[in-house]
């Protein structure tokens, strides 16, 4: 980014001139994460990619009821409006559903279906074999859901998804998941993503890691920041470069280099990054 894109740091010592806290004093940020954000903010071309559910929006039994946390989308938009800054929502949802539930729009980039669905759609349409296999997946998952009160099957353009979050009985939840993994998830030619109370079975391979690499290449980004909470986001963290910044939300094992506690902490982190880059 050229020098004209950033104003010089103010030398005004009046504390009322800037009430934004220093990243080093933000309670959500370790010193290492604060330094990583400073470095990311200073890169000429930056990519910021965020998962949606569990990262910017609390989980909900009804997927379309998972509304973004206060300030989340506005903060993403503020980042996306900055020069040489590419901001993306990268979700397992299909792209149309992601746009509807999040309310996000350009210049925020929406990437659906775990990184395989872009503004122009999928790289290649499904052929007859793909379509037949997808139909079989729906049928077999629907049979499992019919025996599991509370479970339901979501239809995506290239996948069928078994949701067991609303199932009240933990044993029934585990049984349905095991049946899905042993049955339709074991078919030849499918690609399985198992997340929190979700089994997604696709007929096209998708990777958040590959999507981040594509965004980074398109933007010629010196640094990419990726924030996610689920096991499905580990594929994204695993493909980050040494200079990139991976941030895990919440507890659980991760290959990400950094961690924050919860969704409000993500919103504050994004605001800090926007302040640093402004």
Tens of pLDDT, residue by residue over 59-96, are 988 888 999 999 999 999 999 999 999 999 999 888 99
Per-residue confidence at 215, pLDDT binned at 50, 70, 90?
very high
By residue range, what is the domain housing residue 192? 128-202
The residue from 165, 180, 202 where one domain ends is 202
Question: Which pLDDT does position 114 carry in this prediction?
Answer: 86
Same domain, 115 and 33: yes
Q: Is 105 exposed, middle or buried (0-12, 13-18, 19+ CB in 10 A)?
A: exposed
- 12-16, 53-57, 216-220: least confident range: 12-16
Same domain, 226 and 273: yes
The residue from 146, 179, 202 where one domain ends is 202
Give the total number of structural domains in the chain.
2
User: Is 151 a domain residue?
Assistant: yes
Question: Which pLDDT does position 223 carry in this prediction?
Answer: 98
CATH code where residue 104 lies = 3.40.50.1000
User: Is 47 a domain residue?
Assistant: yes
Q: What is the pTM of this model?
A: 0.76
Question: Which pLDDT does position 21 carry in this prediction?
Answer: 45
Question: String of b and e for 216-230 (b: at least 16 CB within 10 Å)?
Answer: beebebbbbbbbbbb
Residue 82 and residue 75: Cα distance in Å, rounded? 11
Same domain, 212 and 269: yes
User: Is 243 a domain residue?
Assistant: yes
Q: What DSSP string describes 111-166?
A: EBGGGTBBTTB-SS---HHHHHHHHHHHHHHHHHHHTSTT-EEEE-SSEEEEE-TT
Residue where the block lists tokens 């969704």: 263
Q: Cα-flanking dihedrals φ and ψ of residue 62, to 5°?
A: -90, 115
Q: Is 252 helix (H, G, I), strand (E, B) or coil?
A: coil
The overall average pLDDT reported for the chain is 89
Question: Which pLDDT does position 26 carry in this prediction?
Answer: 65
Adjacent-strand bridge partners of 159: 202
Q: Is 201 helix (H, G, I), strand (E, B) or coil?
A: strand
List pLDDT tens digits, range 115-148.
888 998 887 778 999 999 999 999 999 999 999 9
Checking if the pLDDT of 9 tops 60, the result is no
Same domain, 144 and 115: no
Residue 133 and residue 138: Cα distance in Å, rounded? 9
User: Is 12 a domain residue?
Assistant: no
Residue 156 and residue 65: Cα distance in Å, rounded? 17
Same domain, 98 and 215: yes
Q: Is 110 within 8 Å of 98 (Cβ atoms)?
A: yes
Percent of the chain at pLDDT above 70? 90
- 20 versus 101: which is more confidently predicted? 101
Same domain, 115 and 211: yes
């Amino acid at each position: 980014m050229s020098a004209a894109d950033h104003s010089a740091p103010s030398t005004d010592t009046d504390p009322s001139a800037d009430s934004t806290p220093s990243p080093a004093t933000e309670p959500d940020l370790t010193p290492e994460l604060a330094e990583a954000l400073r470095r990311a903010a200073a890169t000429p071309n930056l990519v910021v990619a965020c998962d949606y559910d569990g990262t910017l929006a609390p989980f909900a039994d009804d997927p379309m009821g998972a509304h973004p946390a206060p300030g989340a989308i506005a903060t993403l938009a503020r980042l996306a409006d900055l020069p040489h800054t590419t901001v993306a929502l990268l979700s397992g949802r299909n792209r149309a559903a992601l746009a509807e539930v999040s309310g996000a729009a350009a210049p925020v980039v929406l990437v659906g279906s775990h990184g395989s669905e872009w503004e122009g759609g999928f790289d290649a349409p499904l052929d007859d074999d793909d379509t037949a296999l997808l139909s079989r997946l729906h049928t077999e998952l629907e049979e499992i859901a019919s025996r599991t009160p509370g479970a339901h099957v979501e239809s995506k353009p290239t996948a069928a998804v078994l949701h067991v979050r609303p199932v009240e009985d933990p044993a029934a939840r585990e049984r349905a998941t095991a049946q899905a993994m042993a049955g339709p998830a074991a078919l030849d030619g499918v690609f399985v993503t198992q997340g929190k109370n979700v089994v997604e079975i696709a007929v096209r391979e998708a990777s958040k890691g590959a999507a981040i690499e594509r965004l980074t290449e398109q933007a010629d980004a010196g640094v990419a920041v990726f924030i996610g909470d689920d096991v499905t986001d580990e594929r994204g963290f695993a493909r980050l470069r040494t200079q990139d910044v991976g941030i895990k939300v919440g507890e659980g094992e991760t290959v990400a280099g950094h961690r924050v506690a919860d969704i409000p902490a993500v919103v504050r982190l994004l605001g800090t990054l926007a302040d640093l880059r402004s």
